[in-house]
Amino acid sequence: MGFKFLIDVNLPRFFSLWDSADFIHQFDLGDEWNDSEIWNYAKAHNLTIITKDSDFSSRILLHNPPPKVIHIKLGNLKMNQFFEVIHRLWPEIIEINNEYKLINVFKDRIEGVR
């Protein structure tokens, strides 16, 4: 298994940026999984959870990786705007994902938490 990232069910399944062997979408594992099941799967497989769900951000603050969390905090955007922002910020997100257990992604900035 070569996955590095688990895309939460609340994010688009079909996104060219995430269309590689590094990514698995939660929907492909079971779209009815609760947060603990997602967390435990990501922990067991040393994945980074990509989500819009603040529950994962809160949980990682109390734990050490794995998993790590990338919290997408873009608010309500049209899908094309969402894709544009993520495409623009993704190289920096990937670069700092190695150093931080939580990355908060905003339209205009990225914040890392160790």
Mean pLDDT value across the chain: 92
| Chain segment 85-109, per-residue pLDDT in tens | 999 999 999 999 999 999 999 999 9
pTM of this structure: 0.94
Backbone phi, then psi, for 16, in 5-degree steps? -55, -35
Contact of 99 with 112, CB cutoff 8 Å: yes
- d(CA 31, CA 43) in angstroms, rounded, equals 18
pLDDT classification of 2: cutoffs 50, 70, 90: low
Domain coordinates in residue numbering, the chain: 46-108+110-114
Query: What percentage of residues in the chain have a pLDDT greater than 90?
Result: 77
CA 37 to chain centre: 15
Q: Provide the pairing of β-strand 110-113 with 102-105.
A: antiparallel
| Chain segment 15-38, per-residue pLDDT in tens | 888 889 999 999 999 878 899 999
Q: Across the chain, how many H-helices and E-strands are there?
A: 4, 6
